[in-house]
Chain A
Amino acid sequence: MDLKTLCELNALGGREEAVRKVVYDICVDKLGKDAVSFDGMGSVIAMRKAKNTSLPRVMFAAHMDEIGLIAVSAGDDGLINFRAAGSVDPRVLLSKRVMVGYGEDAVPGVIGYMPIHLQSSDEYHAAPTIEKLSVDIGAKDKAEAESKAPKGTHITFATKYTEFGDGFVCAKALDDRVGVYNMLRLLDAEYDGELTLAFTSREEVGLRGSKTAGFRVQPDIAIVLEGTTANDLGDTEDRFKVCIPGQGPCVSFMDLSSIADHELFKLVLKAGQAESVPHQIKKYVAGGNDAGAIQRAGAGCKTVVISVPCRNIHSPSSVCSLQDVDNQYHLAQATLKHLMKG
């Protein structure tokens, strides 16, 4: 499965079926039907039995859902009002192409805004709030808009996956299809202990799928594969850059949802060094991810997060390095190798 296909699938929290189907079929193909299950929150859990039960039970997690918008009403003019599904900065939305709905029911749309000619000075200088924005699907009136985009319809970004520059890619949903992509590769990981790959749902709306997936698996160690905030462009001071695309996947010592287990954090760095996998330490404390929920599921487990640095994260045009994506896989595999060494 290639990253392009995964990124171009549309799946907001609670409606991950497009990604789920792809993931499920590949997991079943690799491990057999009995090894793969769903839970009530929509996560896919693939479990590889241990050849050596003295090794730690390891769970990887990557979330299938992406951020986007949700239709809440239509105006008499046929424009669709929406709210954020996940954390979305309204400034990234202006003039973006979107898909309204999923699959055969989906219609293209565009998020319009008042032309610059007509804006007052105040309007020009202030960012619009999400309530002021709407999607134009070319509907002639409210009835047509509501028939094509009933309240609750999900709206996703219509960005095509584009490789550019020296090994970079621009796409939507890199957060966290990069993790999904690498977990599919890890179905073949070299590891003799029990290995669970949890493709989680609803991360972007509050770490919800991983809470139940973590409870169900209750591993000894959880390694979360993510896409995270790179802030390396412009005249940003070094200390606010967080991480830099192209310098390897980053390992987090802490974010707002979890503190990495200190020994496990050091083991990942050591494994990266020993196996010559480029990596960096994420140099900022912000955000949260599935590690926060999995760490506290049941009797608790040790966690660490390995992320691909993504510029313009949570926007229609995220950018990351394909080398970093590849090295996220290699760092995960190197970590497993070192866990086997004990």
Chain B
Amino acid sequence: MLTKELLKFSIRSGRIRPAFVPEEGDILERARGLIDLFRQAEGQSLGELEELLDETCGTGDVEAGLRKLLLDRCGAEEDDGSVMERRWQALAAAQALRLGEPGLDEASFRGRLAATLGRGFVELKEDLYADLPACRRIKGFRELSAVSLLQRYNCAQVQGLLLRARSVHVRLAQASLAERRELFRQLKFHRLIAEVTRDEGEGRALVVELGGPLSLFDSAATYGMRLANFFPHVLNLPRWEVEAEVHIKNKTVTLKLDQKSGLKSHYRHQTPFVPDELLAFVEAFNTRQAGVWQASPGTEFVHLGRESYCFPDITIRDQKKRKIHIELFHRWHAGTLRGRIQTLEKIGFSELRLGVSKNLAKTAELKMLLEESAWFARFGFIFSEFPTPKLIFGVLDRE
């Protein structure tokens, strides 16, 4: 992530435009040069590397940003505490000398101290604070290509602005079902509050409004950090638009970007995944219930009031378009299940059916929670590996 002073942008007519760098030409060469220096830096101190960079590289704003991103990829040696031990010996000896002979001039003091400690004064002086961060030796550098560095730089320019965003509006077109599910999973993982709708235009793109309770009142640093960390996931989608309201330099300005900006994500693009058993379930259910109920993999948020929302695994519609959502909890979902049951107990939401795997339901604490929940008694069910169409059909008509 880049600090505020490393963000480069222009503001005109209420719109902020990050100053992206091209991934070619002179700047690519300079990025290569910088990476070479970092690659050869193993064994040098961080201070020495900084000095070398000052001498050999430009002092331009872009270089400063690239240097910051590269420094974040350096590992430094931990010292073993021996410098500190020598320091305390030297400090004790120096104090004893000062107290014992208060009238000593500087030169005599240095000579006497060096003699007492059996080392030259210059050596003693250099060793005294050799464990400071700037003196720590670099022991590793996480490699990346020059192009990748420039891509990260451009992405970091946007992330730095999103740290200061009050609201973010993301429009996604042509995202596959699996891509949408992956995006929702990431929203949930980053604990972002979102409202998802479909717009009325061509292709009915998905519109995600991001903003948390605090964003209603003020921009909050922790929320901004989550938002910034989430952003590279958006870049992995085929067509996206981001519009954010950013507060910077005492102004509120608009940031608008889309896939044409050429930004690349440095998050690994995992092939989005819809579990086979889910697809098999949908097919089997629709075959059996043809004409009555229609099942599909869940693609939307369901608001449960306050900040609670869920992403159902399956949505089932009847002929009148009435929707029942199915959310499944497997054995690694204990924490979420506890919170979900508490919320549902309070709000009594009847359009959701909640399935809990046997493995999860048999733990003592959750067993009691489920037994005591009136909501779960009406709308919940237990399944083994994956719910069968018959099991789901049996819970649809509960009211």
Q: Decide whether A and B are members of one complex.
A: no
